[in-house]
Structure 1
């Protein structure tokens, strides 16, 4: 599969582990120079080193996506050094699951900061660069929780619902600039981070909810993101690609 551009960089946030890591690895295999962005500097470095040792092009970036100025500066630096920002993947998220009445202001502020405001900051920075270069691709990460609520996911559902709406809105506004904006909708993916907040009983429930009767892998989500970022999807924008084992169809 050809990447979105034969030259240029892909910035992946939250790329130190899980879906972000798999996405960085996949985009590197597709020929892009990947900027592995994560607030955990050591995790970003490990992923970057793994990619380069395998023959890909990557570099680590310690980045707090909630810092608008830092995001803007990071994107400008990538463009200055590499000439083209071909793809941005907004994967970073901070999650808390609780009963509705137990959510605190800190919980809500934290999830909104990483899950929604940071998506705005990254998109704003990317738009400035991509509009000057004649286009690019932005891929956001939504969730079935934007459509199907589960106990404890009130804030997560609200955040991902907002990301879903933003994706569709931005596709209309940015299309004339040559910028495609889509989102992937992952199903139940037992990543390292997810296992810290979802126990085996929770994953058993998710298996039962999934028509394919199994959990997904980060690599399967990365494949969907890679397709949205590729020339094969050059006429696709405003799309929500469910890679969920059929959860949304059930």
Structure 2
């Protein structure tokens, strides 16, 4: 049986691909950056790399056809998003639409294009931004709000097909992309201020994905498994306290 991971060239997606390789016969590693997908695939036995951009027309069909050539899909993970940090008043229409296209639209097209095995598990990597309106992230906030509804709707509509659809919701995870954005020193300093005194690791997010893909989660669908080290629970604080 096959696992498919979109965003397998990234920190979280790569960790998911490596984790699922322990549960499935083969892994299809999908990323718009073919070199990054190949690096992840090289770490896994029985892995195939595929270049595909979630923002392109025909994305779902391309990935679905490649997966079907390998075998029925037992698990599918969507781990890509587009995020621009800018005040809402300065956000361009194109940026907002790209966040929606890469996020909920891409996830839907990906899941719809697959040929599922019986009892297939589809998992979206969500975000605290679905429910927390962080400033300067309007496009990303809106996209994750819509992604949450994609997960809930597909879980509802596809239950009679035996497909389980869930989301894993990470907190602040230390990935190469975060280090590129903030710098190693600033990122480490920010981590010490988090409730558990550190950032999460991609492998911890992947462990949650592995659980939702397993038989132990066979009656879990339409759920959002938060892996944030109590970050969301600590956001409501009184000023000056």
Correspondence 1:69 to 2:58: yes
Q: Where does residue 98 of structure 1 map in the other structure?
A: 86
Contact persistence 1:142–1:163 (CA under 8 A): yes
Where does residue 12 of structure 1 map in the other structure? 5
State the shift of 1:169 in Å: 1.8
Aligned residue pair count: 233
SS in 1 for 2:232: helix
RMSD: 1.8
Matching of residue 184 in structure 1 with residue 171 in structure 2: no
Aligned-pair distance for 1:150?
2.2
Matched ranges for 1:169-208 at <5 A: 169-198=153-182, 204=189, 208=193
* TM-aligned CA distance change 1:197 to 1:154, over 3 Å: farther
1:29 maps to 2:17: no
Q: 5+ unaligned residues in a row in structure 1: which ranges? A: 1-7
Aligned CA distance change for structure 1 residues 177 and 29 (closer, same or farther; 3 Å): same
Choose which of 206, 209, 221 in structure 2 pairs with 1:237.
221
Q: How far did 1:65 drift?
A: 1.8
Question: 1:1-250, aligned counterparts within 5 Å?
Answer: 8-51=1-44, 56-82=45-71, 84-126=72-114, 129-130=115-116, 133-198=117-182, 204=189, 208=193, 210-250=194-234
| Cα deviation, residue 148, structure 1 | 1.8
Taking structure 1 as reference, are residues 161 and 70 closer, same or farther at Cα in structure 2, changes over 3 Å only? closer
Give the CA deviation at 1:46: 1.1
- Unaligned 5+ segments in structure 2 are 235-241
SS at match of 1:197: helix
1:183 & 1:198 partners in 2: Cα distance? 26
